[in-house]
Amino acid sequence: MVLGPALSWLHARLAPAAQALPPQSLDLSTYPTTPWQQFGLAIVVLFPVLAVMIVGLRVCWRFKTKALGIDDAFIVVATILAVAEAGVSYVMVKLSYIGVHVEQLPQTPYDPTLGRIFNYIVVMLYNPQLGLVKSSVLFFLLRLEGEQKRGVRRAIHWLNWSNIALLVAVLFASIFTCVPVHKYWDRSVEGVCNNQPMQYLVTSSITVLTDVLVLTIPIYLVAGLQMPRKLKIGAIAVLCAGVVVTIFSILRLQMLADLYFTPRRGDWSYGIGFVYSTVECNVAIISASVPALHNFSRQWVAPRKLKLSHGADSQEEGGEGMASSGGSSGKSARVGTDRSQPKAVRANGEPVALRELKGRRSSRVYHNRLESMNESEEEILADRKITRTTEIELRYDSRV
């Protein structure tokens, strides 16, 4: 109800000179469509919804734990832009006949100004998003890294401010792609325009480069930690979830090269390469929130799984138990090393033979270590010289 009059006003204001040809209809239901186009439009809608859900969960958890920071502000702004881009992209795809067969294109000339206006808006909304997400990730890494590695902090600051400067420069270059600006959608206006294909390829290539640079920092931070190899690989995987974004950035770069430097042939309009931009931005937002939600998953998801595993262990042991003590403060906990501490006994009070504990001690030690690690990832990674361990010593009768 509101979109139609708004589009009419925008078209009349921004394209007064392009009235020789009939304007495009504002009723999007009258445009041709295909299952392939509908699939692409579903992706355009689905990924922003997922991003909003993940970021909303992140902000609520950070607010509850009183840990909101500037990285959350950057990711929220990027999410708002992603939602706006999804709405504008939906209209742009219909107006530009993207994802339909060549034979479904209009046979009579029409005024493409309205579609170009929406394409311009999509470009303006797309360019800042990845820069905001990368700055959010870098600010998050600053919260992880302690004061011991000043060289790493300087590298993060340098990369962050370079990314912000690049964000501003690309945004201004996109706004003033043509001078005057409205020449972008009204080619009859006198003026000059940049080499748009080359501009898009250069900015996309720089995006891929900065993605790789941002990904190297978490790998370096975790590689120096003293922790089991499996946990180290898991931490790197969590912090480097953005590698998926780099893959889509490369795919988008390839799509732009084919679009601008490959002659049109065959059913050239029957493609949905436009979804790469939507997937790239929203996957970046989601992956940037994965490390921030790691503590949430440990406190809400993992405890439920451990509770289920405790129940299974109780059934297998048939009532056997082992008295142990351990705190979450990171200090070593000892069982049976002091006479005031209870020895390893069964539920009926009989001592447990050492051979009966074979195969269980290592898993229990590891389990206790996991339970003692209840600090946030910021505190764990802040001091890279401390390795938290829990020792369990067993006393058994020499007669056994």
pLDDT at site 309: 47
The answer to whether 270 and 34 are in contact (CB under 8 A) is: yes
User: Per mean pLDDT, which range of 148-157, 169-178, 265-274 is the poorest?
Assistant: 148-157
Position with higher pLDDT, 331 vs 127: 127
| Residue 394 falls inside a structural domain | no
| Residue 120 falls inside a structural domain | yes
Are residue 243 and residue 96 in the same domain, yes or no?
yes
Are residue 90 and residue 218 in the same domain, yes or no?
yes
Domain end point (choices 273, 299, 325): 299
Name the maximum alpha-carbon separation found in the chain.
104
User: Per mean pLDDT, which range of 20-29, 90-99, 276-285 is the poorest?
Assistant: 20-29
The answer to whether 129 and 78 are in contact (CB under 8 A) is: yes
pLDDT at site 344: 46
pLDDT at site 143: 80
Position with higher pLDDT, 384 vs 8: 8
Q: Is the pLDDT of residue 369 over 70?
A: no
The answer to whether the predicted template modeling score (pTM) of the entire model surpasses 0.85 is no
Are residue 332 and residue 235 in the same domain, yes or no?
no
281-305: average pLDDT: 73
305-319: average pLDDT: 47
Are residue 18 and residue 103 in the same domain, yes or no?
yes
pLDDT at site 365: 43
CA distance 286 to 133: 10
| Residue 350 falls inside a structural domain | yes
pLDDT at site 357: 42
Q: Is the pLDDT of residue 73 over 90?
A: yes
Are residue 345 and residue 257 in the same domain, yes or no?
no
Q: Is the pLDDT of residue 373 over 50?
A: no
| Residue 203 falls inside a structural domain | yes
Are residue 329 and residue 196 in the same domain, yes or no?
no
pLDDT at site 145: 54
CATH of the domain at 156: 1.20.1070
215-235: average pLDDT: 77
Are residue 33 and residue 65 in the same domain, yes or no?
yes
Domain end point (choices 264, 299, 334): 299
370-384: average pLDDT: 43
Highest mean pLDDT among 281-295, 303-317, 346-360: 281-295
Are residue 22 and residue 66 in the same domain, yes or no?
yes
- Give the confidence band of 66 by pLDDT, cuts at 50, 70, 90: confident
pLDDT at site 395: 55
CA distance 83 to 98: 20
Six-digit token string for 170:
């690309």
| Residue 390 falls inside a structural domain | no
pLDDT at site 310: 47
CA distance 39 to 278: 13
Q: Is the pLDDT of residue 192 over 50?
A: yes
Concatenate the DSSP letters of all residues of 68-120 into one string.
Answer: --HHHHHHHHHHHHHHHHHHHHHHHHHHTTTTS-GGGS-SS--B-HHHHHHHH
Are residue 336 and residue 252 in the same domain, yes or no?
no
Output the CA–CA distances (angstroms, integers) from residue 32 to 65, 265, 270, in the order listed: 50, 20, 12
142-146: average pLDDT: 69
| Residue 388 falls inside a structural domain | no
Are residue 75 and residue 147 in the same domain, yes or no?
yes
- Give the confidence band of 178 by pLDDT, cuts at 50, 70, 90: very high
Domain that holds residue 182: 3-299
Position with higher pLDDT, 33 vs 356: 33
Domain count along the chain? 2
Q: Residues with Cβ < 8 Å from 82, sequence gap 6 or more?
A: 48, 51, 125, 129, 278, 281, 282, 285
**Could you check whether the bond before residue 218 is cis, i.e. omega within 30 degrees of 0?**
no
Domain end point (choices 271, 299, 327): 299
Per the prediction, the chain carries an average pLDDT of 74
| Residue 399 falls inside a structural domain | no
Concatenate the DSSP letters of all residues of 157-195 into one string.
Answer: HHHHHHHHHHHHHHHHHHHTSEESGGGGT-TTS--EE--
| Residue 248 falls inside a structural domain | yes
**Pick from 69, 41, 40: which is nearest to 289 by CA?**
69
252-256: average pLDDT: 87
Are residue 344 and residue 372 in the same domain, yes or no?
yes
pLDDT above 70 as % of the chain: 66
User: Taking the CB of residue 43, how many other CB atoms lie within 10 A of it?
Assistant: 18
Are residue 269 and residue 323 in the same domain, yes or no?
no
